[in-house]
Amino acid sequence: MRFRLVPTDDRFFALFNDSARNAEECAHRLRDLLADPTLEGGLTRVIECERKGDQFTQAILHRLDTSFVTPFDREDIHALAEEMDDVVDDMHSVAALMQVVSLKETLPELVEQGDILVKMAKATVDLVERLQSMKEAKPLLEAIDQLESDGDAVYRRTLARLFSGEFEALDVIKEGPRHRHGGGPQHAGGHLRRGRVHHPQARLGRPMELGVFAVVVLALGFDFTNGFHDAANSIATVVSTRVLSPRWAVAWAAFFNFVAFLVFKTHVANTIAKDVVTQDVLTIGVVFAGLVGAIGWNLITFYLGLPTSSSHALVGGIAGAAVVRSGSHVLVSEGLRKIGMFIVLSPLIGLALGLILTLVIQWAFHRYRRVERLNRVFRRGQLLSAAAFSLGHGGNDAQKTMGVILAVLIASHHVGPHADVPLWVVLAAHSAIGLGTLSGGWRIVKTMGSRITRLQPVGGMAAETGAAATLFFASSSGIPVSTTHTITGAIVGVGAAHRLSAVRWGVAGRVVWAWVLTIPGAASVAGVTSLLVRALG
């Protein structure tokens, strides 16, 4: 038995099939009329199709008005129905014009256009039959494109012939309008071809300024809370070792969060915007649902006390919303495998680096006796390591927000599909994360270090440097990673350099749970949100 997660009204597809077949029938009738303008009842036969087309359009629009859940976006259904209707209307206009000018015979080029129109209509019927799955649609789209080019060529050839002096002026006036009327077939074909972008798998939707604005504000809000919460990661050790007061430590971290845009390019943002799901499925609704899924999951795990990753929640959210909207084939395997790989690797690399740095420092200075002086050096060194970690944090986490905003700008046609992140987005994202860190981070410093293992200045510096190096690598390679998981891994590494019993495994174990749960959890919340967004139209 077939299981459906989303209830859909498949009757729409049958109506579109009927409408497309009617357009094909109309094309045949017009072609017959073009071949023989004196054909008995030729115009009447075309008018019959035109009326049928109106009925199909009305049926589709009525169904649209009375359906709570539709198989694809409402505005796309509306636009496709109107386009199909326009095609038949245009054919009717050509036939009516032939009668108005009392045409007795036509140019062979016009018959040729009629043949192209018939082929185009046939291809459109085949395409509309695939509307539900969109499988093997590409060859048909290419064929329609080619037919349109053929129609253009015939049109230009006909115009050249009409104005060559071969015909009387009156004949030119009679023939001309049918070509000016979009050349009849090719104009209709143009509608058919344009109809292709209105299929459910294609990203559509006219610019929704309010929607775009809402998603951008939500994304920046998400970024702000990210800075607010993750400030503890970069300043906990600086504060606990009393190198800086909490307020100054937060200002320090916020500054380096902000200036990260000068250091890192926008590879991570591009990964989020382009390598999680195919771009054609990214609509404002999908991005909105993905963002709500990520925020919702963060709130749930905050309540449950799980050290979740905002980054993975965001990836899971966008993936979940897109899959619910269009199916699992929209997932970009390469991008998701890259992200999945580093869900596991980033804490382990941070751990290894934290451990190795600790060992190197301990081996380098184990004979040094002026411990107090050495500790002073490492305390100051923590300023640099905390700055480096804040830089890495800003570089990786702010870019996730940029990726979300880039996705919504692409979806709303504000920028092209291959565009890079606009400068205002870069500045806004870094400002949001920096302000988030600045405004409230000091209140929630819970000394990440002491929660996992007790850290000395040297350990704090090793952990931050190890985590910063991991983040630098990830950011420059376009890999969105969890900054929280990375610093957690690095702190565990510092603890493990001494003995495993120094590590509080409960916290580390919860990180592993967060690995497993975050993406499916956020995807589920986003999926439900996507259904709600869709149901609300």
Partner 1 sequence: MDRRAAFFLIAAAACLAVVPVGVEKFRAVAVVTAVVYAVLAVLSFLDHRSRRGHGR
Residue 183 or 354 with smaller CB distance to partner 1? 354
Residue 133 or 477 with smaller CB distance to partner 1? 477
Does residue number 370 form part of the binding site for partner 1 (CB under 8 A)? no
Residue 13 or 342 with smaller CB distance to partner 1? 342
Residue 47 or 356 with smaller CB distance to partner 1? 356
What stretches of 366-452 show up as alpha helix (H) in DSSP? 371-411, 423-440, 448-452
Does residue number 520 form part of the binding site for partner 1 (CB under 8 A)? no
Residue 217 or 341 with smaller CB distance to partner 1? 341
Do 405 and 233 contact (CB within 8 A), yes or no? no
CA 359 to chain centroid = 44
Instruction: Count other C-beta atoms under 10 Å from residue 374's C-beta.
Output: 15
**Category of 205 on φ-ψ map: left (φ > 0), alpha (ψ -120 to 50) or beta:** left
Q: Which part of the chain contacts partner 1 (CB under 8 A), choosing from 254-262, 352-360, 385-393, 407-415? A: 352-360
Amino acid identity for residue 420 in this structure: D
Q: Which part of the chain contacts partner 1 (CB under 8 A), choosing from 142-150, 189-197, 288-296, 351-359? A: 351-359
C-alpha span between 358 and 400 (Å, rounded): 31
Picking from 314, 264, 269, the residue whose alpha carbon sits closest to that of residue 291 is: 314
Residue 302 or 505 with smaller CB distance to partner 1? 505
Read off the tokens for 222: 């998400």
What are phi and psi for residue 277, nearest 5 degrees?
A: -130, 160
Q: To the nearest whole angstrom, how small is the minimum distance from the Cβ of residue 301 to partner 1? A: 22
Residue 38 or 477 with smaller CB distance to partner 1? 477
Contact string (CB under 8 A) for partner 1, positions 464-503, x = contact:
-------------x-x----------------x--xx---
Residues 290-349 that bind partner 1 (CB under 8 A): 334, 337-338, 340-342, 344-345, 348-349
Specify the DSSP class assigned to residue 182.
T
Does residue number 352 form part of the binding site for partner 1 (CB under 8 A)? yes
- # chain residues binding partner 1, by CB under 8 A: 19
Residues 131-190 that bind partner 1 (CB under 8 A): none
Does residue number 351 form part of the binding site for partner 1 (CB under 8 A)? yes
SS3 277: strand
b/e string for 406-424 if b means 16 or more Cβ within 10 A? bbbbbbbeebeeeebbbee
C-alpha span between 232 and 239 (Å, rounded): 9
Binding site for partner 1 (CB under 8 A): 334, 337-338, 340-342, 344-345, 348-349, 351-352, 355-356, 477, 479, 496, 499-500
